[in-house]
Amino acid sequence: MLLSITAFAQVEIVENFDNAPDFGLPEGWTASENFLVETWYTCEEGGKGTGANFEFAGSGSITSPNYSGITNDTDLTVSFSINAYQQVSFWPPISHIAPAEGWGTVVLEYSLDGGVSWVTAYTVDDSNFTYIGVDSCVAMPAVNLGPLAAGSDFQARFVTTVTNVSAAQLIISIDDISITQVATSVPNCDAVLLNPVNGSTTADLNTILNWQAATGIPTGYTVYVGSSSGGTDIVNAATTATTSYSLDGLGLDYETEYFVTIVPFNGVGSATGCTEESFTTRLTPLPGATCSSPIEIATLPYIIESDDTANYENNINVGPCGNYPEAFMTGNDVFYEITPATDMSINISLANVSEYAAAIHVMEDCPDVATECVAMLGDNYSATPPYTMELTEVVLNAGHSYFIVLSRASMDGTFSYTMIITQNDCINPEFTVTPVAECDSGEFSVDVDVNYLGDASGLTLTDNFGYANTNISSTGIVNVGPYASGSTVEFTLTNNDDDNCSFSDSTFFYCPPVNDDCTDSTVLTINTDGTCTIFTSATNAGASEATNNPINCEFTNTNDVWFSFVATSETLILEYSNIVSAIGDGGIFQSTELLEGSCGSFTSLGCFMSNYVTLNNLTIGDTYYIRNNSNNVGDYAQNYDICLKEAPVPPANDECSNAIVLTASTDESCDNIISGTTVGATISEDNTCNSDFTAFYKDVWYVFTAAETGLYKFTFERTDFEPSAYYSIYSGTCGALVEESTGCYNTEPTVLSATSGESYYVMVRSGDDGPGIDFDLCVFKLPPPVENDSCSTPTVLLESTDETGNNMISGDFANAYSSPESCAPSAKTIWYSFTPSYTGTYHFNFVNTVGYPNYTIYNTDDCSLTTDNFVTGTYCFNSGENSADLVSGNTYLISIFSFDNNTVESFDLSVYPDASLSVESNSFEEFKYYPNPVVNTLTINAKNTISNVSIFNIVGQKVQMVTPNSMETTINMSELNEGVYFVTVTANGSQNTIKIVKK
C-alpha cells in the first residue's frame, strides 16, 4: 500500500507492499537487482514485503520516487519493520538461524535535493536488532527527526550493506514503512473500494469492504452503507482505524445494490465531498451452492440419481478435514444438511464418480468456520474413473445439524456423481485405550474407556488373550490385564443386541529398557580381532529422551538408550546388526551420538545416521558414551545387536608415501587394470578433499608415471555401492601435491594432460559409514587430439554465400576431448572461429548427421572470456537453425560438443548472411561520410534516400538508430563513449557497413 504524496504539503510515504506486483516494485520505486517484492519478505501474515538475499558480502538498495516541493515545516517521523536471518542450506530440510555477528547494516536515508545528497535517518545493525524468528520481524521504534524546511523535494531509500554471511545466504526483509510529517489539513477524499470494486455485481452477503488508503495522513475512516443512494440503513457512521469493514451478519440480500461512502478523518477534521460508490450482491444461489443455502436431507434413504458439482460453485477452499486446511476442498462444492431426531449411523456412497480426487466431508458447521471434522473420505488417485467411494458408519447425534460437503482436490475442479445415503441398523460403540505401566513386574495393563454405547443395551469387551466381559452397560473405564511388556493387545467391543455393530482398537506398551538413562548405560566390550564376536542385544523400544542430557543431533527420534566404553584405540568401529522393528515399520537405520564427559555434563563429538560408524580421534583410556535412537521420527523402535571393534589393519598404500604403482594399459581394454580397497584405510595428511560431510573419508594412494607426453584417461569402477567413494588426481610430490582433477567428487573418467617422466598421484577415498569399498583403477594413453580440440587452435569457418552452404564444414568427435573453456566442460568439444563480412543478421545451419551434438556461439575470440559470454539470442545448448546479429570484422568462437562416449557423433555446419546483407556495397552511388574520427556528429551523404542508420558497438550491441528518409543525415554521437563503432547504412534496399572511431 503506497499513499501517494498529493497536493497536500507534507511527506507521506506509507508502504506495506501488499499491492505491489510479485517480483516487482511499487509504482515509481526503483531498486538494485537483488531487491524485489514477494510474500516471503512480509512482516504481516498474508501480505508482502520487500527484501533481498545475499550469498556473499555485498550491497543493495530500494528507493522511493522523488516528490517535488512536498515538505512542510513540521516534524518528520519514521518507522518500519525489519528482519535479518540466515538460511542454513539450499537443500531440504530448509532451516534458518540468526545472522552472523557483524552481518552488516540497513540504513534508512532521505534526500531533500532530488537524490544529490542523502541524510541518514536510521541505522539497523547488531546494536539494535535481535533476531526473533524467521516469521517475526522487529518493529523499529518510531523516531522523530525534527522539522524539515518547507517546499523541499523528498525521497527515501533503504541501503543494505552485508559484510558477513556464515551460512548459505543472508536474507533481509523490510516492511510496514511509515515516513510522514504532521498533517496540516483534513485528508483527501480519495479512499477507493478495492473489494468489492465500484460497480461489482458478484459481492457475497458476508463481504468485507476493503479500500485503498486515503492520502493526507488519515487516522481513521467513517463508513456509511445503505440500500439506497445516500442511505445509512446498513451501516451508519461506523468508524475504523483500518482500511476494512465487515458486512457479515448485517442482513444483506441477494441481487441488491448497496451504496458505500468512505470518509477519511484525522486530527484536523473529516474530509468533505467524498464520492459514493456502490456494489450489487450476487445472484441468488441454487440450493446447495453455498453453505448458507444447503440442500436439506429430510428422510433416509436419500438418493441423487445424477448430479454434477459443475452445477454449483466454489465458494470455500478450506475446511477442518484432511492434513491441511485446503485438503480436498479446492473444487466446486455441494452442501447438504441433515439434522437427525435420534442418534443414527449412516453410510454415504458416491457412485459413477467421473474425476480423480473427489471427496466427502462431514462436519457440524460450514467448512470455513468448523473446527472439527466428523468424517472424511478422499480419493487419492487409487481408482480409475468412473469409480465408487463410500464413507461408512458415520455417527450423527440427535438434534445436531451436520453438513455433508462434496468437493475435490483440484482448483475449481468438478465431477459428476450418483449419491445414496442410508441409515445403518445399529450404531457402533466407541472406546479409547491407554496403557498403564506396571514395570516393576515387567508388565502393563490397559484402561479401556468406553465413551459411547451406540444404541446397545449391553456390550461385550474381548481381547486377543482370552479376556471377555459381557456385562458392560454404561460408559466408563474398564481396566484389563496385566500383559507382558512388549505385547500388542487387540480389543473388540460388540453390541450384545446386534453383533454386526462393534468397534476394535489395539495398543502396545514397552517398559523402559534398563539403559534408558545415562547413569544406567550398558558397558560395551571392545572386540580386538576385528570381528563382532562379542556383541550386546538391545532395544530402544519404550525408551524416552533423557531430560538432563538433551539430544544434540538432528533427524533423530527421542527414544534414546545409552552405552559406554573405554577406548582401546584412537579409531574404533561401531556396528549395528540383526535390526528388526519392534514398534512400527520405521526402517532399520539407527542414529548414534558420541559424547564425552559425564552424565548431565556432556560434550557432543559427533552425530551419525548409519549402521556402520567409524569413531575417530579417540583418546586411549578415556571413557566415552554412545546415545542410540531410532533414525526415523515418530512411533518407531527397533531391536538390534550392537558391537564395538578395533579398526582393520590399514592397507599398504594407506599413505601417499607408500602409493602403489599404477601402470598404463595399452588401451581402453585396460590390460593393466589394478584392483584396490579402502577397507581399513585411515585419513592421510595429503588428503586435501575431506571437508563438510566427507570430513572423515578414508583414503588410499596410487602413483602413475607418464612414459610419454600426451593425454591419458583415468577410469574408476567401484564394485560396491556403499559407502560413497570418489577419486582425485594430483601432480607434484607427497607433502606438496597440486590437484589436477576437476574437483574432489570425481567418479567419472578423467582426461589428464601428462608430461613424460612426471609422476601423478591418484587418491581414492570412501565414507566412514561402511567398512570401505573395492574398486578397479585403469589409465591409458589417448590418441593425439584433433587440431581444433583446443579453444586456442580453432578451425576457421568460412562464410557461405547463402542457405545452400557452399562453405559448409562436416565434422565429428573422433579424438576430441573435454575443454574447460566450453560451457559444457565435461563434453567432448571441438572449436571453430568465424568472422562475418557484414554487420547484421547471420543464419547458423547446424545438422546432426549422427547423434545429438550441440553448439555454442561465443561473443568473443578470447578463450579466457567464454564463460557465459554467448552471442545475444543464443545459449549454451543450441541445435538446428539459429539466427544472430554479428558485427563485420569481429571474430566469434564456436564450440561444438558431444556427451556420447559410446558413439562418434557427427554434424554439418554452415553460416551465411541474411539476404538483406549480401547486396554489394557499390549499390550505393556517391556514398560519402565524414568526419572519421568523430567528435560530436557524423554526416552521411548518398545519391539515394537513406532509410535507416544503425550504430553498433564493438561487441555487436545496437546503441543508436535513426530513420532519416533523406539523402543526407547528420547523426549526433556526442553521448557515445570513445571507441570503435560500426555504422550500417540502408539506402535503396541495399546496405553498407563502415567503421567509425569516436573520440
Say which CATH number the domain at 481 has: 2.60.40
Contacts of residue 256, defined as CB under 8 A and 6 or more positions apart, other chains included, come to 227, 280, 281
DSSP label at residue 671: T
User: What integer pLDDT is reported at residue 89 of this predicted model?
Assistant: 82
| Within-domain flag for 6 | no
| Within-domain flag for 637 | yes
Report the percentage of the chain scoring pLDDT > 90. Answer: 74
Burial of 675 (0-12, 13-18, 19+ CB in 10 A): exposed
User: What integer pLDDT is reported at residue 823 of this predicted model?
Assistant: 93
User: What integer pLDDT is reported at residue 6 of this predicted model?
Assistant: 39
User: What integer pLDDT is reported at residue 8 of this predicted model?
Assistant: 43
CATH of the domain at 263: 2.60.40.10
d(CA 981, CA 997): 6
Residues 21 and 163 in one domain: yes
Cell 558485427, located at residue: 887
d(CA 563, CA 567): 13
CB-CB neighbours of 521 under 10 Å: 20
Residues 664 and 747 in one domain: yes
User: What integer pLDDT is reported at residue 550 of this predicted model?
Assistant: 84
Residues 176 and 214 in one domain: no
State the chain's mean pLDDT as an integer. 91
User: What integer pLDDT is reported at residue 920 of this predicted model?
Assistant: 41
Cα 838 to its chain centre, rounded Å, is: 46
Residues 70 and 166 in one domain: yes
DSSP per-residue string spanning 361-421:
EEESS-TTT---EEEEEE--S-SPSSEEEEEEEEEE-TT--EEEEEEESSTT---EEEEEE
| Within-domain flag for 458 | yes
CB-CB neighbours of 287 under 10 Å: 14
User: What integer pLDDT is reported at residue 922 of this predicted model?
Assistant: 37
Weakest mean pLDDT among 299-303, 497-501, 989-993: 989-993
Q: Looking at 848, 882, 917, which one is the last position of a domain?
A: 917
User: What integer pLDDT is reported at residue 915 of this predicted model?
Assistant: 84
- Is the Cβ–Cβ distance between 360 and 417 less than 8 Å? no
Q: What is the pLDDT of residues 129-184, one digit of tens each?
A: 999 999 899 999 999 999 999 999 999 999 999 999 998 899 999 999 999 999 88
Q: What is the pLDDT of residues 74-100, one digit of tens each?
A: 999 999 999 999 998 877 678 899 999
Pairing label, strands 698-705, 660-661 = parallel
SS3 content of the chain, % helix, strand, coil (to 5): 5, 45, 50
Residues 541 and 610 in one domain: yes
Confidence of residue 757 (pLDDT cuts 50, 70, 90): very high
Pairing label, strands 416-423, 302-308 = antiparallel
Q: Is 1 helix (H, G, I), strand (E, B) or coil?
A: coil
Residues 478 and 414 in one domain: no
Residues 31 and 126 in one domain: yes
Longest dimension (CA), the chain: 119
* Secondary element (H or E) of residue 225: strand 220-226
Closest CA to 10 of 186, 213, 267, 182: 182
- Is the Cβ–Cβ distance between 294 and 403 less than 8 Å? yes
CATH of the domain at 956: 2.60.40.3080
Mean of pLDDT values over 594-610: 92
User: What integer pLDDT is reported at residue 707 of this predicted model?
Assistant: 95
Closest CA to 8 of 211, 189, 242, 240: 189
Residues 586 and 619 in one domain: yes
User: What integer pLDDT is reported at residue 7 of this predicted model?
Assistant: 40
Burial of 56 (0-12, 13-18, 19+ CB in 10 A): exposed
| Separation of first and last alpha carbons in the chain | 49
Mean of pLDDT values over 260-276: 94
Reply yes or no on whether the pLDDT at 954 is more than 80.
no
CATH of the domain at 716: 2.60.120.380
Reply yes or no on whether the pLDDT at 774 is more than 80.
yes
User: What integer pLDDT is reported at residue 198 of this predicted model?
Assistant: 96
Q: Is 592 helix (H, G, I), strand (E, B) or coil?
A: strand
Mean of pLDDT values over 732-757: 91
Report how far apart, in Å, the C-alpha atoms of 553 and of each of 727, 769, 785 are.
Answer: 30, 17, 52
Residue 429 C-alpha cell reads as: 460403540
The letter for the amino acid at 988 is N
Confidence of residue 189 (pLDDT cuts 50, 70, 90): very high
User: What integer pLDDT is reported at residue 524 of this predicted model?
Assistant: 97
User: What integer pLDDT is reported at residue 393 of this predicted model?
Assistant: 93
CB-CB neighbours of 674 under 10 Å: 18
- Is the Cβ–Cβ distance between 334 and 348 less than 8 Å? no
Range(s) of the domain holding residue 821: 787-917
- Is the Cβ–Cβ distance between 845 and 910 less than 8 Å? yes
Mean of pLDDT values over 239-251: 94
d(CA 379, CA 407): 11
| Within-domain flag for 188 | no
Predicted TM-score (pTM) of the model is: 0.54
CATH of the domain at 588: 2.60.120
Reply yes or no on whether the pLDDT at 340 is more than 60.
yes
Q: Looking at 761, 781, 801, which one is the last position of a domain?
A: 781
Residue 127 C-alpha cell reads as: 546494536
Confidence of residue 2 (pLDDT cuts 50, 70, 90): very low
User: What integer pLDDT is reported at residue 968 of this predicted model?
Assistant: 87
CB-CB neighbours of 199 under 10 Å: 11
Residues in the chain, how many? 999
Weakest mean pLDDT among 9-18, 491-500, 647-656: 9-18
Q: Is 921 helix (H, G, I), strand (E, B) or coil?
A: helix
d(CA 300, CA 421): 7
Report how far apart, in Å, the C-alpha atoms of 466 and of each of 219, 461, 462, 492, 752 are.
Answer: 75, 11, 7, 12, 75
Residues 436 and 496 in one domain: yes
Residues 17 and 148 in one domain: yes
d(CA 475, CA 431): 9
Residues 797 and 939 in one domain: no
User: What integer pLDDT is reported at residue 620 of this predicted model?
Assistant: 97
Burial of 832 (0-12, 13-18, 19+ CB in 10 A): buried
- Is the Cβ–Cβ distance between 905 and 853 less than 8 Å? yes
Residue 968 C-alpha cell reads as: 543526407
DSSP label at residue 324: S
Contacts of residue 125, defined as CB under 8 A and 6 or more positions apart, other chains included, come to 103, 104, 105, 106
Of residues 730 and 550, more confidently modeled: 730
| Within-domain flag for 738 | yes
User: What integer pLDDT is reported at residue 926 of this predicted model?
Assistant: 59
Q: What is the pLDDT of residues 316-326, one digit of tens each?
A: 999 999 888 99
Weakest mean pLDDT among 212-221, 712-721, 973-982: 973-982
Mean of pLDDT values over 475-482: 96
Number of domains within the chain: 8
Weakest mean pLDDT among 39-53, 218-232, 899-913: 39-53
Confidence of residue 470 (pLDDT cuts 50, 70, 90): very high
Radius of gyration of the chain (CA): 39
Phi first, then psi: what are they for 789, rounded to 5°? -70, -25
CB-CB neighbours of 535 under 10 Å: 20
Confidence of residue 999 (pLDDT cuts 50, 70, 90): confident
Residues 271 and 315 in one domain: no
Q: How many CA atoms lie within 13 A of 420 on its CB side?
A: 11
Mean of pLDDT values over 16-25: 87
Q: Looking at 612, 646, 680, which one is the last position of a domain?
A: 646
